[in-house]
């Protein structure tokens, strides 16, 4: 490597100022919530915020607030602006075309009742994302005005750690990272574990392709996650916490940093929280682009500064985790549910959803669906309601083919199960998993063999290489799937694919390898005909694979 000089190295990226909006000091008659989460920002919603603040001021509307808020949900139609007093949502807002919005704000009268919500919102129940699109994510006072940190104060002043545990156990909340392990049980294990030093880790390494729930929660309402972590620290007896966040989410990282600083300054994190002896310090740790770090033992290795390779369990991190101390690891969305559970009681939460899968789940609805975006629905809702009522059906009215949940660890659910309730058990029964909440809708333009190959390619590249079944197995499976896609496979190869998938599932060290064959299993189960078409007829029914292209050339 040649000696680099100062000139041939690219400089630091220039940081742009983020606009704050304009909130009047006096009473507010009407307000405009302008989404400043990543999707809308990429459509220049920061310019919309600035322009709107200017135009409202020019129009002399001194009692109108123009507010920076987090995700409003309907990400594909951004930039989004909502007027909460009337419930109207303005989509695709442009800085040079805000006249209608200003008129709407001028016309709001005190006591106006919001109109009925659009179908996209009507079926949703907001718990984890209740503040998304309502609070300013960089303003602690705004969060506190919506009961922010009240749950933490209640826990510290009026509850014992055991009482907090009781509420979480009673809520029936299960891990929202994907596996669905009962949160209360995990907390109880850490609380009981011996050790003077304990840790709380928030897993914000949202690596599933097609999932952006955690990013949205962190960008929209970071304090809620910190509050959940602090309550967890109090319940299990930990005084240190880490948020392990993807470096690919710069806005989420920036807002987390701001939130940690503001909460620390207000005495809500750090020493003597809320004038009690309880202390809880939170640090941010950045991931660096490794899917396997979502696995808890790999995540711990990464927080300790090493390569993110998993280790065999037991011992589980709840007993021996970070620096071999008992460590509680929960997902962002899990922590986001804690404050409302403490405020309203575990029984209230258990009343939402189904008996075995309580509460709500946030899904990132994407793919070939009209309304892509972030939705939060009660457990037990059917897939049809999500895809058709909330999602507005398939783009261009094409036929529905499958819904993919759980990312590379999940499976494809075909049309016949559209009326199945969405809960942990039902999804498992049909060969998929809840996963962290990615929900990709596919139409007839997707080849299911190619989809299986796509996910296997992902697992092959993201395998950490520590254990052989995963390192070599995923590569071999990918080769087999490629030969099927290219039309050079035989029926023997199909049998080999199934045998090898089973072996990788049974013998891999961690969840990545154990679940890597799931997309193969589920596509074989429901779309075996497509595999056979590639092998026997040398055609790709969806017209995606090279085999089909070659057919066309030969004719």
Partner 1 sequence: MAVATAIPPAPSDDKRWRIVETRMRRLGQRPDALIEVLHAAQEAFGYLDTDTLEYVARGLGVPLSKVYGVATFYSFFTLKPQGEHACVVCTGTACYINGAGGIVSAIGRGLGVRPGETTPDGRVSLLTARCLGSCSLAPAMILDGEVRGKLTADAVVAELEAL
Closest distance between partner 1 and the C-beta of residue 438, in Å?
Answer: 7
Find the shortest distance in angstroms from Cβ 42 to partner 1: 3
Q: Which of 131, 302, 330, 436 binds partner 1 (CB under 8 A)?
A: 302
State which residue, 268 or 303, has the beta carbon closest to partner 1.
303
Nearest to 233 by CA among 118, 152, 290, 303: 152
Number of residues that bind partner 1 (CB under 8 A): 61
The verdict on 305 binding partner 1 (CB under 8 A) reads yes
Cβ within 8 Å of residue 73, ≥6 positions away = 120, 121, 124, 129, 132, 133, 373, 374, 375
Pick the piece of the chain touching partner 1 (CB under 8 A) from 146-154, 281-289, 425-433, 505-513: 281-289
The whole-angstrom separation of Cα 326 and Cα 315 is 10
Q: Which stretch binds partner 1 (CB under 8 A): 157-165, 280-288, 348-356, 382-390?
A: 280-288
Among 24, 95, 209, 380, binds partner 1 (CB under 8 A): 209
Q: Which stretch binds partner 1 (CB under 8 A): 60-68, 133-141, 208-216, 493-501?
A: 208-216
Judged by beta carbon, residue 148 or residue 294, the one nearer partner 1 is: 294
Please say which residue, 14 or 113, places its beta carbon nearer to partner 1: 14
Q: How far is CA 131 from CA 147, 150, 171, in A?
A: 10, 14, 20
Query: Considering only residues 464-483, where is the footprint of partner 1 by CB under 8 A?
Result: 464
Q: Give dist(CA 34, CA 412) in Å, integer.
A: 36
Residue 38's nearest CA partner among 161, 178, 256, 216 is 216
98's tokens: 């805000």
Q: Which residues lie below 8 Å from residue 366, measured CB to CB, with a gap of 6+? A: 210, 372, 438, 439, 440, 441
Burial class (CB in 10 A: 0-12, 13-18, 19+), 534: buried
- CB-based contacts of 141, cutoff 8 Å, min separation 6: none
| DSSP of 168-222 | HHHHT-B-TTTT--BHHHHHHHHHHS--S--EEEEEE---STT--HHHHHHHH-H
Whichever of 320 and 404 has its CB closer to partner 1, that residue is: 404
Beta carbon nearer to partner 1, 5 or 555? 5
Is residue 194 within the footprint of partner 1 (CB under 8 A)? no
Least spacing, CB of residue 289 vs partner 1, in Å? 4
Contact 232, 199 (CB under 8 A): no
Touching partner 1, residues 498-527 (CB under 8 A): none
Binding mask 407-446 for partner 1 (x = CB under 8 A): x------------------------------x-x-x---x
Closer to partner 1 by CB, 10 or 27: give it. 10
- Residue 66 or 545 having the CB closest to partner 1: 545
Q: How far apart are alpha carbons 425 and 287 in whole angstroms?
A: 31
Q: In the bound complex, what is the minimum distance in angstroms from residue 31's beta carbon to partner 1?
A: 24
Q: Which stretch binds partner 1 (CB under 8 A): 162-170, 203-211, 263-271, 533-541?
A: 203-211
Buried b (16+ CB within 10 A) or exposed e, 178-211: bbbeebbebbbbbbebebeebbbbbbbbbbbebb
Q: Which is nearer to partner 1, 322 or 489 (CB)?
A: 322
Q: CA nearest 173: which of 347, 54, 4, 425? A: 347
Is 497 among the residues that bind partner 1 (CB under 8 A)? no
Both tokens of 70, joined, read 């987090």
Q: Is 255 in the site for partner 1 (CB under 8 A)?
A: no
x/- letters, 22..51, toward partner 1 (CB under 8 A): ----------------xx-xxx--------
The H or E element that residue 400 is part of is: strand 400-405
State yes or no: residue 192 binds partner 1 (CB under 8 A).
no
| Strand spans (E) along 9-133 | 21-22, 30-35, 64-69, 81-83, 88-90
By C-beta, is 156 or 201 nearer to partner 1? Answer: 201
Rg (the chain; Cα; Å): 25
CB 172 within 8 A of CB 359: yes
208 contributes a contact to partner 1 by CB under 8 A: yes
Nearer to partner 1, 148 or 435 (CB): 435
* 4 in contact with partner 1 (CB under 8 A): yes
Query: Binding marks (x or -) toward partner 1, 394..413, rule CB under 8 A?
Result: ----------x--x------
Question: Interacting stretch for partner 1, rule CB under 8 A, among 26-34, 172-180, 360-368, 376-384?
Answer: 360-368
Q: Which of 178, 207, 321, 326 binds partner 1 (CB under 8 A)?
A: 207
Name the residue nearer to partner 1 (CB basis): 206 or 227.
Answer: 206
Q: Which residues pair with 376 in a beta bridge?
A: 362
* Among 94, 157, 307, 398, contact with partner 1 (rule: CB under 8 A): 307
> Is residue 6 at the binding interface for partner 1, with CB under 8 A as the rule?
yes
* β strands within 222-267, DSSP E: 240-245
Asked whether 443 and 402 are in contact (CB, 8 A), the reply is: no
* Three-state DSSP state, 281: strand
Stretch that binds partner 1, among 106-114, 180-188, 244-252, 524-532 (CB under 8 A): 244-252
Query: Using CA atoms, how far apart are residues 167 and 5, in angstroms rounded to an integer?
Result: 59
Q: Does 285 bind partner 1 (CB under 8 A)?
A: yes
Binding flag, residue 212, partner 1 (CB under 8 A) = yes
Q: Which residue among 286, 350, 418, 472 contacts partner 1 (CB under 8 A)?
A: 286
Residues that bind partner 1 (CB under 8 A): 1, 3-6, 8-13, 38-39, 41-43, 75-76, 78, 206-212, 215, 247-249, 285-291, 302-308, 364, 366-368, 372-373, 404, 407, 438, 440, 442, 446, 454-455, 458, 462, 464
């Amino acid at each position: 490597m040649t000696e680099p000089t100062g000139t041939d190295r690219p400089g630091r990226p220039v940081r742009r100022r983020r606009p704050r909006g304009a909130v009047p000091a006096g009473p507010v008659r009407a307000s405009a919530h302008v989404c400043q989460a990543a999707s809308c920002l990429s459509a220049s919603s920061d310019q919309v915020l600035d322009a709107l603040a200017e135009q409202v001021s020019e129009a002399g509307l001194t009692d109108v607030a123009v507010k920076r808020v987090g995700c409003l949900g309907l990400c594909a139609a951004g930039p989004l602006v909502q007027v909460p007093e009337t419930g109207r949502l303005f989509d695709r807002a442009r800085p040079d075309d805000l006249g209608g919005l200003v008129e709407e704000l001028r016309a709001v009268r005190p006591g106006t009742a919001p109109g009925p919500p659009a179908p996209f919102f009507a079926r949703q129940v907001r718990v984890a994302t209740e503040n998304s699109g309502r609070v300013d994510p960089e303003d602690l006072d705004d969060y506190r005005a919506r009961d922010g940190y009240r749950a933490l104060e209640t826990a510290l002043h009026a509850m014992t750690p055991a009482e907090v545990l009781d509420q979480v156990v009673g809520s029936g909340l299960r891990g929202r990272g994907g596996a669905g392990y009962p949160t209360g049980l995990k907390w109880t294990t850490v609380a009981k574990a011996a050790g003077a030093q304990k840790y709380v880790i928030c897993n914000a390494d949202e690596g599933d392709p097609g999932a952006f729930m955690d990013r949205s929660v962190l960008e929209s309402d970071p304090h809620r996650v910190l509050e959940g972590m602090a309550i967890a620290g109090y319940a299990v007896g930990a005084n240190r916490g880490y948020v392990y966040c993807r470096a690919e989410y710069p806005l989420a990282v920036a807002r987390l940093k701001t939130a940690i600083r503001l909460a620390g300054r207000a005495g809500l994190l750090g020493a003597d929280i809320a004038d009690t002896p309880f202390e809880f310090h939170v640090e941010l740790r950045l991931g660096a682009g490794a899917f396997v770090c979502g696995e808890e033992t790999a995540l711990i290795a990464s927080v300790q500064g090493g390569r993110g390779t998993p280790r065999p369990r037991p011992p589980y991190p709840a007993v021996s985790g970070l620096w071999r101390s008992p460590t509680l690891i929960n997902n962002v969305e899990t922590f986001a549910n804690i404050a409302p559970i403490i405020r309203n009681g575990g029984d209230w939460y258990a009343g939402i959803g189904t008996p075995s899968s309580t509460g709500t789940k946030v899904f990132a609805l994407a793919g070939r669906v009209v309304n892509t975006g972030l939705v939060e629905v009660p457990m037990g809702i059917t897939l049809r309601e999500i895809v058709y009522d909330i999602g507005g059906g398939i783009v261009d009215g094409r036929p529905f083919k499958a819904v993919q949940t759980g990312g590379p660890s999940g499976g494809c659910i075909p049309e016949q199960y559209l009326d199945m309730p969405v809960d942990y058990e039902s999804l498992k029964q049909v060969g998929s998993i809840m996963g962290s909440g990615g929900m990709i809708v596919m139409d007839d333009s997707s080849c299911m063999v190619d989809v299986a190959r796509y996910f296997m390619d992902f697992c092959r590249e993201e395998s950490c290489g520590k254990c052989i079944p995963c390192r070599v197995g995923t590569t071999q499976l990918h080769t087999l799937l490629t030969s099927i896609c290219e039309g050079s496979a035989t029926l023997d190869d199909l049998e080999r694919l199934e045998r090898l998938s089973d072996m990788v599932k049974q013998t891999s060290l961690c969840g990545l390898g154990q679940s890597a064959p799931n997309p193969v299993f589920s596509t074989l189960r429901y779309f075996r005909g497509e595999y056979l078409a590639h092998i026997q007829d040398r055609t790709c029914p969806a017209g995606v694979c090279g085999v089909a292209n070659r057919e066309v050339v030969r004719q």
